[in-house]
Amino acid sequence: MVLIYVLLGVIVAGDNMLYSVGLLYLSASTYSLICATQLAFSAVFSYFINAQKFTSLILNSVVLLSFSATLIALNDNADAPSGVSRSKYIVGFVCTLAASALYSLLLSLMQFSFEKVLQKETFSVVLEMQIYTSLVATCVSVIGLFASGEWRTLHGEMDGYHKGQASYVLTLVGTAVTWQVCSVGVVGLIFLVSSLFSNVISTLSLAVTPLAALAVFRDKMSGIKVLAMLIALWGFASYVQQNHLDDLKLRRARKQAHASRVDPPC
């Protein structure tokens, strides 16, 4: 169990590092649309690690979400943050794409751990998974912070924050708290349903993030970006339809099993 928590914690730390680089060089709307590819990666990892079955709707979802990310990659860097060069824009894209793949792998490994190793029926295992992996990820991040020497710039970073030191601290605290709440929900869905379903729910928020970025950060919403968002929504809807069909099939099987127990044949 210690090995599982350490391995997953290290993956969480590396994944967050990649996400941070992506956010540094990409606008919020572009970043969120690239993150939508995590559903496609999740389908692949779930197939090989968790024995998830592929259907035409799931395959359609994978193709559409991959195509959506490709449109973003081919888009010019007109919507990149000021001061970000074309090469940094590409680095941000690659890091965000790699982070999406690593995140999907993480979810599949968590499901595998729940089913094959931990094998507990209580919800407390969700909190244990979240607490211990986050503790390891925090330790790895702190070690990296001091090893790189970036800890020396923290005071200057706080002083240079455009909204003041208090807002800087509140932003970090708010990010930490909301991330933990989100992670408990993500891990809980893995425990109760599956890693693929958990990723579907996570991807749902990505569809509205470009709109939120447009309203809050005044991000530019180009035609290609709108098209990519619509394609991503189409891909998400395909998986929702497949999940609905699977749910109906499961309910029918349960009803038939119940009927066979209530009315046994003569």
**Closest residue by Cα to residue 200 from 38, 66, 33, 57:** 38
pTM equals 0.78
Query: Cα separations (Å) of 43 from 98, 122, 197, 256?
Result: 15, 27, 10, 29
**Are 27 and 96 spatial neighbours (Cβ–Cβ below 8 Å)?**
no
Please report which residue ranges of 26-153 form alpha helices under DSSP H. Answer: 28-35, 38-49, 56-74, 86-112, 124-148
Q: What string of pLDDT tens digits covers the 266 residues of the chain? A: 899 999 999 999 999 999 999 988 988 777 877 887 887 888 889 889 988 777 888 888 778 877 877 776 666 555 566 677 888 989 999 999 999 999 999 999 999 999 888 887 788 899 999 999 999 999 999 999 999 888 888 888 888 888 888 999 999 999 999 989 999 999 998 998 888 888 877 776 766 676 777 787 777 777 877 887 788 788 878 877 887 888 788 788 878 887 777 665 55
**Are 21 and 89 spatial neighbours (Cβ–Cβ below 8 Å)?**
no
Q: Give the DSSP per-residue string, 179-207.
A: HHHHHHHHHHHHHHT-HHHHHHHHHHHHH
